[in-house]
Amino acid sequence: MECILKVLVLAVLSVSGQGQLLTGRFWHITDLHLDHTYRLSDGNSGSVCNSSGSHPSPQAGKFGDYLCDSPWDLISSSVHAMKDILPDPDFIIWTGDDTPHVPNEDLGEEKVLGIIGNLTHIIKTLFPKTKVYSALGNHDYHPKSQLPPTQNNIYEQIQKLWEDWLDPASRDTFKRGGYYTEKLLNQTGFRVLVLNTNLYYDQNKITKNMSDPADQFKWADQVLTEAAKNKEKVYIVGHIPPGFFEKKRHKLWFTSEFNKQYIELIQKYHDIIIGQFFGHHHTDSFRMFYSASGSPISAMFLSPAVTPWKTTLPGVVNGANNPAIRVFEYDKKTLLVEDVVTYYLNLTYANIARARWEKEYRLTEAFRVPDASPVSMHRVLEQIAHENCYLQKYYGFNSVNYDLSECNADCRLDHVCAMREVGFEAYEECVKEGASSSIPALLTIGFALSISMWASY
């Protein structure tokens, strides 16, 4: 009852955020992971895909299986759903990971480039006039995750595939390091940075001992310095995010030094960085960045995957998801993210009946906030941390309505600490405090902060 009453109160508070003029919309798709080996056999009793690791797939159907990466029918259905739902977006963000979870020896450069080419082709075919800002994933190279900090054949060939989407200057930096920057929609005052964060992946043996692979941090600092000078507003796009995986305690992605440098970049330029958009997790979550005094200064949105593949990461339970695609609504004057609308395919229903892409939720409705600003996302985090109804709602969204089990105290701790603390030391302290207390001390501080900010509305 307490949660219901608070929802009603916040609904009244959020009315002022509705009806805003000049709202733009763009798609974010990520982690398509096309499995070119997916084949249905009579009775579906055996493995139908290499990405299942030879596990039986008795429930497999036309649109896939939770043990497998995406068959072509699922890829096609997802992009056609985008065309049906929002046929004329302002732009599309595509954050990579296009090839399946199979051993390197089952792929090779030619197959990797072929898969990326096929996905590029269907997007261009259905959205021929739409600008696409596309980032490399760790599965968009051969061997996977070993993306180099120097020019190479794969970067060059992908640059050719994406040539229509890239400005001339972007093509040059992409070939050299897999990253680029452009004026967002070629508009003065708006900018996008598309990063190759695979260079910071702790599984990348090539870059592990480097201080600044491909000089990307130096380049980003220079671009953001110039952007601040010109009073530009900036979106940052990438594949692998900093911080920790919310479904496995202590599971990090960046090396320690790279993680620290990324956080410092956001803190230094948070006044102009209006949004961060990443993938890789296959889950629906977000990450908060705070000032030294604890004020929320930036939010990173982690969009769920198209692939339903159940992760083989040890210790992760129910690590699959329903396929998802996402629309961001934003203020065309400020780039502020006003809302997030996620659409999904119930894979079980699709295989039995038909492919029906439907709205899963709208952020402002589900969490009763006026927008998706850092202050509002901090409020969402505190609701998840302290109110069970919001925790369970978020937990269902996290797997795109695949895992609807109860998120217990340990589960809550894993998710909340991962969302709140991107820094390594702060995360470890959050987990440590939470393990010895029913309400982590760090989260209690955050809750008090959120109460004071609510009062300012």
282 is in an annotated binding site: yes
Rounded CA-CA distance 265/263 in Å is: 5
pLDDT, averaged across the chain: 92
List of domains in the chain: 23-433 (3.60.21.10)
pLDDT digits (tens, 9 = 90+) for 27-50: 999 999 999 999 997 655 678 999
Model pTM score? 0.92
Strand 296-302 versus strand 324-331 pairing type:
unpaired
357-362 mean pLDDT: 98
pLDDT at 131 over 70: yes
Query: How far is the C-alpha of 47 from the C-alpha of 60, rounded, in Å?
Result: 9
Per-residue HEC secondary structure of 347-396 comes to HHHHHHCCCCEEEEEEHHHHHCCCCCCHHHHHHHHHHHHHCHHHHHHHHH
DSSP letter, residue 66: T
Q: Is the peptide bond before 143 cis (omega within 30 degrees of 0)?
A: yes
What is the three-class DSSP state of 19?
coil
Q: What is the pLDDT of residues 44-86, one digit of tens each?
A: 567 899 999 988 888 899 999 999 999 999 999 999 999 999 9
Farthest-apart Cα atoms in the chain, separation: 63
Whether 281 has a binding-site annotation, put simply, is no
Q: What is the pLDDT of residues 389-399, one digit of tens each?
A: 999 999 999 99
Give tens-digit pLDDT for 103-123: 999 999 999 999 999 999 999
pLDDT of residue 457: 37
142 is in an annotated binding site: no
136-180 pLDDT, tens digit per residue, is: 999 999 999 999 999 999 999 999 999 999 999 999 999 999 999
Q: pLDDT category, 442, cuts 50, 70, 90?
A: very low
Residue 139 counted as an annotated binding residue: no
Annotated ligand binding at 271? The verdict is no
Other CB atoms within a 10 A radius of the CB of residue 103 amount to 10
Contacts of 80 (CB under 8 A, 6+ apart): 126
pLDDT band at 328 (very low <50, low <70, confident <90, very high): very high
Of 24-33, 326-335, 447-456, least confident by mean pLDDT is 447-456
How many other CB atoms sit within 10 Å of the CB of residue 150?
11
- Sheet with 23-29: strands ordered across: 132-134, 92-94, 23-29, 324-331, 337-345, 357-362
Which of these, 187, 210, 220, 224, lies nearest to 258 by C-alpha position? 210
Task: Give 313's Cβ-side CA count (13 Å radius).
Answer: 18
Question: For the CA atoms of the chain, what is the radius of gyration?
Answer: 21
Is 239 labelled as part of a ligand binding site?
yes
